[in-house]
Amino acid sequence: MKRTTTGLLVLGGAVILAAVPLVVTSWAPEAAETAEAAETPVAVPTTDAEHVAEAQAYEKEAAELTAKARRHASLAASYRARMSGGDKQTTSLRSLMKHCERLSKVYGEAAAEATEMARMHRDMARGE
């Protein structure tokens, strides 16, 4: 009996291990997309028009990131306003508030970097 149980456990483990690669790839399709993107050659702007286009793309990205930063700052303020005592809900609200504050900061920093990249590309387009 013990031998049969051990055999079934080993067989079950083998079936599970054989299925893991299928499950992992189905859970992370963006990983395959990221690998493809890494293999795609990057076009570096060389003309004034290409630098202007790149600057516009960075400006658009900066605007989107700024909007995300503001949204998360607003959410953080909402969570902060809803906190009252020391109950479980307050603990959860505090956690959500801190999460949104961190995201707001990170998005704001990314927006500032994108704005700086846009400035550099505009300068290169002008030959500066």
The string of pLDDT tens digits covering residues 42-80 is: 889 989 999 999 999 999 999 999 999 999 999 999 999
Question: Does the predicted TM-score (pTM) go above 0.75?
Answer: no
Q: Tally the domains of the chain.
A: 1
The pair of three-digit structure tokens given for residue 20, joined into one six-digit string: 């893991």
- Predicted pLDDT of residue 72: 98
pLDDT interval class at 31 (50, 70, 90)? low
CA of residue 93 relative to chain centroid, distance = 22
Residue 29 included in any domain: no
Percentage of the chain lying above the pLDDT 70 cut: 70
* Stretch among 2-11, 31-40, 69-78, 88-97 having the lowest mean pLDDT: 2-11
* pLDDT exceeds cutoff 80 at 38: no
Please check whether residue 99 lies inside any domain of the structure: yes
For residue 22, what pLDDT is reported? 42
Q: Is residue 100 part of a domain?
A: yes
Residue 28, φ and ψ in degrees, nearest 5 = -130, 65
Q: Mapped to the 3 state alphabet, what secondary structure does 53-112 carry?
A: HHHHHHHHHHHHHHHHHHHHHHHHHHHHHHCCCCCHHHHHHHHHHHHHHHHHHHHHHHHH
Q: Compute the distance between CA of residue 119 and CA of residue 25 in angstroms, rounded to an integer.
A: 40
Q: Is residue 13 part of a domain?
A: no
Predicted confidence band of residue 109 (pLDDT cuts 50, 70, 90): very high
27 in any annotated domain: no
**Quick check: is 21 in a domain?**
no
Sorted by sequence, the CB contacts under 8 Å of residue 80 that are 6+ apart come out as 93, 97
Structural domain boundaries enclosing 90: 47-128
